């Protein structure tokens, strides 16, 4: 089964016999913030206060969400029902409406995951650094899925000092080629020669996570990081992910206000780093 299907099954299991929260609101950044990091994510709010974060800059998702003022009946919807939209199979032809429902479904899955973790009193540990536990060593071939430009100033000097190399897997052909300290390719098969991998959490939303991880079987450490990595963790650990790094909202009101203003919301959420050893067995036993 796919990651999306396994995630929905995990949510169904974790919420069985419990009332399911409903969607209270969708919070969007202003359109003018789309060019900055503060405009890359939306937050779906449930009536129990849980928030689910999702990336909104795939295609024209943000503009579609801004235009869909009535949200097609999403407000007031059962969160699990909406989350199931995330697992709907993708068609070969482009369907903006279906892509929009999957984005909202992913946000709902993240919000409902937060509900489950809050019920258990679980909060993930804070991250000790931005690189997802990737510590370059001599001879390492590190794969990066999605170009993390903000991380390069910290990562590249470590690579040079250790004598490690970096290969970036991208979808944008304009970035392909050799750069100062790293190489960019469109060929995901090159992950097969990497012993450590750092991936953007966007691969969850665009349904490439299963195919990408299938190329990482030789990696001893796989870190998946990004603000939208807020779902139940077991389906990712089962696929070989070593560490999940996301954003844990600690001040809901402050977070929502900052997001809607297109301002930085870092002070209202902390970055976490979660491993299988941290994950509470109680989630999977429910």
Q: Which domains does the chain have, with CATH numbers?
A: 3-119 (3.30.390), 141-249+268-280 (3.40.50.11590)
Residues 6+ apart with CB under 8 A from 16: 286
Residue 66 confidence (pLDDT): 78
pLDDT for the residue 63:
80
Give the sign of the dihedral formed by CA 225, CA 231, CA 232, CA 237: negative
* pTM: predicted TM-score of the whole model, two decimal places: 0.93
The answer to whether 193 and 166 have CB atoms below 8 angstroms apart is no
* Residue recorded with tokens 């970096």: 166
Tokens in use for 224? Answer: 């998946």
Alpha helices for 44-148 (secondary structure H): 61-67, 79-83, 96-119
- Say what the pLDDT of residue 286 is: 54
pLDDT of residue 105: 96
Beta strand 51-55 pairing with 41-46:
antiparallel
Tell the residue number behind the tokens 């007031």, with chain if given.
76
45, burial (CB in 10 Å: exposed 0-12, middle 13-18, buried 19+): buried
286 residues of the chain, pLDDT tens digit each: 899 999 999 999 999 999 999 999 999 998 888 777 778 999 999 999 999 999 988 877 888 887 775 566 889 999 999 999 999 876 555 666 777 888 999 999 999 999 999 999 999 999 998 899 999 999 999 999 999 999 999 999 999 999 999 999 999 999 999 999 999 999 999 999 999 999 999 999 999 999 999 999 999 999 999 999 999 999 999 999 999 999 999 999 999 999 999 999 999 999 999 999 999 875 665 5
Provide the pLDDT for residue 101: 86
Distance separating the N- and C-terminal Cα atoms of the chain: 21
pLDDT at 283: 66
Total Cβ atoms within 10 A of residue 57? 14
């Amino acid at each position: 089964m796919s990651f999306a299907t396994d995630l929905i099954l995990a949510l169904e299991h974790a919420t069985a016999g419990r009332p399911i929260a409903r969607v209270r609101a969708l919070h969007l950044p202003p359109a003018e913030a789309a060019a900055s990091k503060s405009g890359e994510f939306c937050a779906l709010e449930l009536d129990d206060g849980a928030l689910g974060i999702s990336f909104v800059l795939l295609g024209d998702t943000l503009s579609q969400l801004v235009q869909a003022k009535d949200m097609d009946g999403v407000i007031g919807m059962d969160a699990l029902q909406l989350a199931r939209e995330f697992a709907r199979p993708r068609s070969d032809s482009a369907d903006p409406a279906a892509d929009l429902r999957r984005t909202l479904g992913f946000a709902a899955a993240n919000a409902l995951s937060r509900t489950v973790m809050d019920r258990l009193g679980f909060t993930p540990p804070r991250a000790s650094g931005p690189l997802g536990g990737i510590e370059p060593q001599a001879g390492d071939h590190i794969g990066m899925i999605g170009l993390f430009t903000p991380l390069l100033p910290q990562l590249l000097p470590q690579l040079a000092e250790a004598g490690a190399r970096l290969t970036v897997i991208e979808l944008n052909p304009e970035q392909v080629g050799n750069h100062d300290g790293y190489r960019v390719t469109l060929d995901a098969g090159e992950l097969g020669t990497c012993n450590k991998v750092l991936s953007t959490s966007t691969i969850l939303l665009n349904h490439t996570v299963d195919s990408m991880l299938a190329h990482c079987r030789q990696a001893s450490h796989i870190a998946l990081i990004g603000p939208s990595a807020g779902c139940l963790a077991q389906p990712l650990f089962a696929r070989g992910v070593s560490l999940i790094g996301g954003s844990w909202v600690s001040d809901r009101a402050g977070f929502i206000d900052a997001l809607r203003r297109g301002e930085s919301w870092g002070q209202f959420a902390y970055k976490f780093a979660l491993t299988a050893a941290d994950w509470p067995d109680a989630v999977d036993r429910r």
